[in-house]
Amino acid sequence: MKHRFKPKKTFYALFTMTLGITVLLVIFNKVSGSEPAISQQTLTANPLPLKAITQVDHSKKLINTLDHSMYLSKTVDEQNRLLTQPIYLTFDDGPTSDTRQILDTLHKFNVKATFFMLKHQIETHPEIAQKVVQEGHSVGCHGVSHDIHQMYRSNGSALHEMQECLQTLKDVTGVDSSLIRVPFGSVPYLKEPHRTSHSASE
């Protein structure tokens, strides 16, 4: 004959009391707001946002952290030391019909930029070139042909293109700029002879 274990009333009483104490402790912790130390530190260091933030709002927040007088970006190095470096925002090959939208965006965020323009684009959109200057942006020249074979075809060719472009820029906007940016980069194409007005026969 097999005997089955039958818990006594004492067992049930102890089990019920233990379970009750455990439940009370859990409720007490929730009501008092006590959390493990690690959780408190995490919440303090990284508070959760009260509402979702859109990408546009996030971008605005980042832009607003810039120093608007100098347009500086602040970051840190490997030792958490503050580094401050200037940001130079530039646009090439214009002005075009899209330049108006660029100007609207720059105005919205109170940001200034430098526009390196092409001679024929200045002549095609003189009112936009003037608007760039009126809104306080810097202007320079990107040349005439934007053709690598034309720009560097002979000694002085790059210089002549820039002089021609700068004169057009001055005629249209009134700005006597000395800023230039050669197409395709100054390396490796732009050589010393391209910077001078001497002809190949000299």
**pLDDT value at position 23?**
65
**pLDDT value at position 201?**
35
Cα–Cα distance measured from residue 183 to residue 188, given in angstroms and rounded to the nearest whole number:
11
Contact criterion met (CB below 8 Å) for 42 and 49: no
**pLDDT value at position 71?**
47
**pLDDT value at position 199?**
42
Cα–Cα distance measured from residue 166 to residue 172, given in angstroms and rounded to the nearest whole number:
10
Q: What whole-number percentage of the chain has pLDDT above 90?
A: 39
On the CB side of 42, CA atoms within 13 Å amount to 5
Contact criterion met (CB below 8 Å) for 155 and 193: yes
Q: What is the pLDDT of residues 148-178, one digit of tens each?
A: 889 888 888 889 999 999 999 999 999 999 9
pLDDT in tens, the chain (202 residues): 545 545 556 666 666 766 667 666 666 665 555 444 444 444 444 444 555 566 666 666 655 654 444 444 456 677 888 767 777 899 999 999 999 999 999 999 899 999 999 999 999 999 999 999 999 999 999 999 999 889 888 888 889 999 999 999 999 999 999 999 999 887 777 777 767 754 433 3
Contact criterion met (CB below 8 Å) for 141 and 169: yes
Both tokens of 152, joined, read 């560097």
Q: What is the per-residue burial (b if ≥16 Cβ within 10 Å, else e) of 123-151? A: eebeebbbbbbeeebbbbbbbbbbeeeeb
51: left (phi over 0), alpha (psi -120 to 50) or beta: beta
**pLDDT value at position 87?**
77
Domains of the chain, CATH where assigned: 53-85 (no CATH), 88-195 (3.20.20.370)
